[in-house]
Amino acid sequence: MKILFIACLSPKSGNNTTAERIRDYIESAGHTCELRDAAEFQSSAEVAQLLSRDLLFDGALAIHLFKAGRLLLDIQVPFGVIFGGTDINEDVKVEQKRLVMQQVLQKARFAVAFTDKMKETSELFLFSQSVKFMSNPKTAIAKKFSWTEFLRCTDVSTAHVDQLRVFLLVCGLRRVKDPLYLVQVFSEWHRLDPLNILIIIGPNIDPVFSTEVESVIQRTAGVYMAQERSQRELHAAMRKCFAVVNSSVSEGMSAAILEAMHLGVPVVARDIPGNAAIVEHGVTGLLYASPQDFVDQSQRLLSDHELRERLVSNGKVYVEEHHSLKQERETYQRLVATLQ
């Protein structure tokens, strides 16, 4: 089969990474998959015209019910959709967008939700059944790692680098990730215990916002920015850090959280629906409701060795049982086959 796959392909975004991975699954099953950016099209009519010109397309797929799914409403071939995160967490609150997404679900042959919570929300607001799947991001571990080398382009003093407790906030620099949410309270905590530092690392997705973040951090003790690194080096840093942090306003399914669990690293995540769907507080990770609560939960992690070991063990088991890469690949290949 030949599949048209539409997604929001902003460089280094979560949707981009997910789309590339799913395309690989589809092509490894012997199909052809043409991946296109939703930004290329202004309307569903344009996509319909594309398919009318190329009659070899047998089906279509879209990530994000509103941004990409609406572009499939006028096509004549069967299609499936994948929730993107902000569609079910944010767009569903806007009546006009919600009505469009309902139309998409009515026409879709299948829909995929990342988590049970996302599935329940879609059923509540969009009156549709969706298919559950879990994702286990690929991981590659560097054989050697040095904090001194890793931090060479930051302002972190490496005099006592081996004693540092590094909290690593992995995110693309854009407002929805809210990287400044913890900055003030973490700086105050750092002044009380200088060994605790927060490092924000990720691609510069929003240049204007990135400049704002850099300006704030330059004036803030204990909080640093590190340059974007390869996946291999980033995963090595995650394994060496004290905890991986999430501060997002909204998440579909955080790849950084799942990667941390898979690598055996504790997770301290903001208590939002997308995070709470994959992090069970006190079992597979810690959730916090405010900046001060973040400090309180982190102090628990510092003082309770048994808690840390329990979170690490349970997190790894959770990922292995619910976010299997093999299961994800087989699920997508099976779903795509239903488009015939």
267-293: per-residue pLDDT in tens? 999 999 889 999 999 999 999 999 999
- Name, in order, each residue with C-beta under 8 angstroms of 178's C-beta and a sequence gap of 6 or more: 247, 248, 249, 270
Tokens 């003082």: give the residue.
Answer: 303
- Residue 296 one-letter amino acid: D
What mean pLDDT value characterizes the chain? 86
pLDDT digits (tens, 9 = 90+) for 129-175: 433 333 333 333 233 566 777 776 666 765 667 788 999 999 988 89
User: Reduced to 3 states, what is the DSSP secondary structure of residue 288?
Assistant: strand
Low-confidence ranges of the chain (pLDDT < 50): 128-143
Count of other CB atoms within 10 angstroms of residue 292: 13
Whole-angstrom distance, CA of residue 149 vs CA of residue 275:
31
Domains of the chain: 2-134+324-337 (3.40.50.2000), 147-322 (3.40.50.2000)
Question: What is the pLDDT at residue 310?
Answer: 96
User: Reduced to 3 states, what is the DSSP secondary structure of residue 58?
Assistant: coil
pLDDT digits (tens, 9 = 90+) for 187-204: 999 999 999 999 999 888
